[in-house]
Chains A and B, each alone.
Chain A
Amino acid sequence: MKILLMGNPNVGKSVIFSALTGLNVMSANYPGTTVALSRGKTVIDGQEIELIDVPGTYGLDSGNPAERIANELLAKHGSGVLLVLDATNLERNLYLAFQVLEKGLPVVVALNLMDIAKKRGLVIDWRGLSEKLGVPVIPTEAIKGKGIAELKTALGEQVLTNECVSSRKFGPVYWEKAEEIAQEVLRFEKRDLTWEERLDYWLLKPGSGSLIAFFVLLLTFGIVVGLGMGMRKLILRPFFFTFIEPVLRWGVTSLIPAGVLRNIFIGEYGFLIKSIEWPLTLVFPYVLSFYVLLGLLEDSGYLPRLAILTDLVFRRLGLQGTNIIPFMLGYGCAIPAILSTRAVGEKRERLVVATLLAIGVPCISQTGAFISLLGEHSLLLIFALYGLALITMYLIGLLLKRFSTRPEIPLILELPPLLIPQAKVIAQRTWVRLRHFAQDALFPLTTAVAFTAILYETGGLAYLGHLLEPLVVRWLGLPAEASVALIMGIVRRELAVLPLIDLNLSLTQLFVGSVLALFYMPCIAVFGVFASEFGMGMALMIGLVTTGLAFLMGGFFNHLFQLLIWFWG
Chain B
Amino acid sequence: MVLTEMKQGEEGLVYKLAGGREMTRRLEALGLRTGKKVKKVSSLFERGPVVLELNGRLIAIGHGQARRIYVKMEAEADENIIDG
Contact = CB atoms under 8 A, between A and B. Distances in A.
Interface string B15-43: 00001001101111111010000000111
A201 B29 contact: no
B30 A312 contact: no
Interface string B47-84: 11101000111111110110000000000000000000
Contacts of B26: 410, 412
A546 interface: no
A200 B9 CA distance: 14
A117 to B, nearest CB: 9
Contacts of B61: 411-413
**Is the contact region of chain B dominated by helix, strand, or loop, or is it mixed?**
mixed
Nearest to B33: A175
Given A175-B33, A408-B62, A311 B56 contact: no
A308 to B, nearest CB: 4
Nearest to B35: A179
Interface in A304-324: 304, 307-309, 311-312, 315, 320-321
Given A206-B44, A308-B49, A414 B65 contact: no
A411 B31 contact: no
Given A89-B57, A204-B42, A414 B30 contact: yes
B54 to A, nearest CB: 9
B35 to A, nearest CB: 9
A469 interface: no
B29 A120 contact: no
Contacts, number: 95
A410 B17 CA distance: 14
Given A410-B64, A412-B27, A206 B45 contact: yes
**Is the contact region of chain A dominated by helix, strand, or loop, or is it mixed?**
helix
A305 to B, nearest CB: 9
B51 A308 contact: yes
Interface residues of A, number: 33
Interface string A319-360: 011000000000000000000000000000000000000000
Contacts of B47: 312
Given A410-B23, A411-B60, A412-B65, A311 B33 contact: no
B56 A62 contact: no
Contacts of B58: 200, 204, 414-415
A88 interface: yes
Contacts of A62: 25, 29
A434 B26 CA distance: 36
A133 to B, nearest CB: 19
B62 A92 contact: no
A308 B60 contact: yes
Contacts of B29: 58-59, 62, 92, 95
Interface string A45-76: 00000000000001100100000000000000
A91 interface: yes
B56 A411 contact: no
Contacts of B33: 175
A120 B62 CA distance: 26
Nearest to B29: A58
Interface of B: 19, 22-23, 25-31, 33, 41-45, 47-49, 51, 55-62, 64-65
Given A312-B47, A412-B61, 11 more contacts: A89-B55, A304-B60, A307-B60, A311-B49, A312-B44, A315-B62, A408-B64, A410-B64, A412-B27, A413-B59, A414-B57
